[in-house]
Amino acid sequence: MTHSKTKTSFYRRLYVAHLISTGVNTVPQITQLTGMPRRTAQDTIAALEELAINCEFVGAKKDGSYKINDWGAINPLWIKNEIAHICEVLDYPLAD
């Protein structure tokens, strides 16, 4: 089944926010798990603010990580419950 760019972009943002909140919280970790290009991962993290998800980089540039401070209107429990479907739509592996 083909999904719209709007849906896949939205799901990609939710998935990356979910990964960050569960400890996969650096660009190298995200790219390794998903296979997405580094730039896509960086752009996706930057775009979280468009969904009112407050994501902050904590620590030094070389060894810091991202942290979700506020989910805004997004319900992280919904993401957790739908993660298998989100991964299927994006063709990404299901994160542990």
Question: pLDDT of 8-49, one tens digit each?
Answer: 999 999 999 999 999 999 999 999 999 999 999 999 999 999
pLDDT, tens digit (0-9, with 9 covering 90-100), for 46-60: 999 999 999 999 999
Q: Are 79 and 95 in contact (CB under 8 A)?
A: no
Q: Is the pLDDT of residue 77 over 90?
A: yes
The Cα–Cα gap between 20 and 23 comes to 5
Q: Are 1 and 15 in contact (CB under 8 A)?
A: no
Residue type, 51: L
Q: Is the pLDDT of residue 96 over 80?
A: no
Confidence of residue 89 (pLDDT cuts 50, 70, 90): very high
Q: Is the pLDDT of residue 94 over 90?
A: no
Q: Please, what are the domains in the chain?
A: 5-90 (1.10.10.10)
Query: What is the b/e burial string over 24-42, where b = at least 16 CB atoms within 10 angstroms of the residue's CB?
Result: bbbbebbbebbebeeebbe
